[in-house]
Amino acid sequence: MVRFDLVITATLDGTFSTSIISRQTGLTDRLTALALLVALQYSVAWLSIR
């Protein structure tokens, strides 16, 4: 696990836990944030391989 993976894991954890607790944001906002973080992680991992 590289540092970037650790940062993404911590960010996903924070976003997921906040989305569960928070009632101020809609479900689509929560899912969009999680999807963007996962897409960013895969994009950076793919680019680092190339």
Whether residue 34 contacts residue 12, with contact meaning beta carbons closer than 8 Å, is answered with yes
Q: pLDDT digit string (tens) for 17-26? A: 887 787 787 8
Q: pLDDT digit string (tens) for 1-50? A: 678 778 878 888 888 888 778 778 787 888 888 888 888 888 888 888 88
For the entire predicted model, the pTM comes to: 0.66
Residue 39 belongs to a domain: yes
Residue 49 belongs to a domain: yes
The residues, any chain, with a CB within 8 Å of residue 12's CB and separated by 6 or more, are: 34, 37, 38
Whole-number Å distance between alpha carbons of 7 and 11: 6
Residue 50 belongs to a domain: yes
Distance, CA of 41 to chain centre: 8
Residue 13 belongs to a domain: no
Number of domains forming the structure of the chain: 1
Task: Name the residue range of residue 44's domain.
Answer: 26-50
Residue 33 belongs to a domain: yes
Residue with structure tokens 């991992």? 45
